[in-house]
Structure 1
Amino acid sequence: MKTPYLAAGIAALTMAVSASAADYTIDTKGAHAFVNFKIKHLGYSWLHGRFNNFEGEFSYDAKNPNTSKINVVIDTASIDSNHAERDKHLRGSDFLNVKAHPKAIFKSESITFSDQTHANVVGTFTLNGVTKEIAFDVKKVGEGQDPWGGYRVGFEGETQLKLADYGIDYDLGPASTHVTIGLHLEGIRK
């Protein structure tokens, strides 16, 4: 007699645990998320830019944050450095080769929180047809109800990529061998 109740209790607990992790859509429609980059220009200044089109989703559970996951897909042709001729060059075969590789993809393999707001993310990043494992630190910016009845959470982080690792060997000078990629993501709970 007790076995059906025990099985029902275990099933309810399992559903409650799996339901506690929330899935979020990255809010690109409201422009509350950004994928930025910066690279030194000849070692004298910084060139800043962004990717205007990307999408993604992540899961996050504040009670069990190390089960979090993230997936981001970037439209490489949407690169925007605020200079049309430079952007045309960046889309070409010297850099992103967007005709052959129209997407850059990041997919997490593990996320390890050291406290309530700081985590290390490890995953694979595919750019220019090359996939490499990367790691970077992220910080939770905040979470809570929004004015429209939804629930949001936001994170930010950045990492440096060696251009040559992704088959980009155009000579920009010794000060410009790495690019810093910044992720600023706000997600809306599904």
Structure 2
Amino acid sequence: MKKHLLSMALSTSLLFGGVAQASDYVIDTQGAHASIEFRVSHLGYSFVVGRFNEFEGDFSFDKNKVSDAKVNVVINTASVDSNHAERDKHLRGSDFLNTGKFPKASFSSTSVVDKGQGNFIINGDFTLNGVTKPLAITAHEIGEGNDPWGGYRAGFEGSTEFALKDYNIKMDLGPASSHVKLDLVIEGIKK
């Protein structure tokens, strides 16, 4: 009997103890330790910059098995903020984000490619203005570790770019304004 119990304990240890598992995190939007910012050329003369003030999400991450990582984010598109009330009203309208019909945008990862030295490509499906298309985010791990409140955190930065027309955004301000760049800073608290 003792032999059987020892054998079972050893098998269980080998099955579960030696396997690193990804940790699950919730994105810290409550503490404002995450941001989604955008930048688009204005007629080729300057840039309109802004952010989405309301979003939520989660991710799973294990630096020893990056390919198993997962990311999910949902954005309240009506929270667009370019620091100009009239422009924001226009951005919420049918020329751009069409927030009355499509109040949410989302990103759900489909794969994560480890590029080494804390760099990744996060591939996923991005939904905006009722259109879903593949999108790749170039990302980098900033760091991870214990926080002063007894929790554990991990932080990343990333960027991507997409054509407005790919998401049925019909407003055309010329070739210089055809693409939007997104910059992301994501800090997660381990669940």
Query: Where on the TM-score scale, by shorter chain, does this alignment land: which range?
Result: over 0.9
Work out the CA distance in 2 between the residues paired with 1:59 and 1:170.
Answer: 37
156-165 or 114-123, which moves further after superposition?
A: 114-123
Work out the CA distance in 2 between the residues paired with 1:54 and 1:18.
Answer: 33
| Corresponding position of 2:69 | 68
| Corresponding position of 2:134 | 133
Task: Note the C-alpha offset of 1:11.
Answer: 3.6
Work out the CA distance in 1 between the residues paired with 2:10 and 2:53.
Answer: 48
Deviating above 4 A after TM superposition, structure 1's stretches of 4 or more consecutive aligned residues are 1-8
Work out the CA distance in 2 between the residues paired with 1:11 and 1:123.
Answer: 35
39-48 or 19-28, which moves further after superposition?
A: 19-28
Is 1:181 equivalent to 2:188 in the alignment? no
| Corresponding position of 2:109 | 108
| Corresponding position of 1:171 | 172
TM-score by length of 2: 0.93
Is 1:24 equivalent to 2:29 in the alignment? no
Work out the CA distance in 1 between the residues paired with 2:16 and 2:100.
Answer: 45
Cα 1:102/1:9, change in 2 over 3 Å: farther
64-73 or 28-37, which moves further after superposition?
A: 64-73
Q: What secondary structure, in the 3-state scheme, does the structure 2 residue paired with 1:114 have?
A: strand
Do 2:20 and 2:64's aligned partners in 1 also have CA atoms closer than 8 Å? no
Q: Deviations over 1:111-156 (max 9, x none)?
A: 1112241011100000000000011210111111111111111001
| Corresponding position of 1:150 | 151
108-117 or 157-166, which moves further after superposition?
A: 108-117
1:48-127 alignment to 2 at 5 Å?
48-127=49-128
Q: Which amino acid aligns with 2:136?
A: A
Work out the CA distance in 2 between the residues paired with 1:17 and 1:53.
Answer: 39
Q: Which amino acid aligns with 1:165?
A: D
Q: Please, what is the CA RMSD of the aligned residues?
A: 1.7
Work out the CA distance in 2 between the residues paired with 1:26 and 1:35.
Answer: 12
Task: Note the C-alpha offset of 1:91.
Answer: 0.4
The unaligned stretches of length 5 or more in structure 1 are none
Identical-pair percentage: 56
Task: Note the C-alpha offset of 1:8.
Answer: 4.4
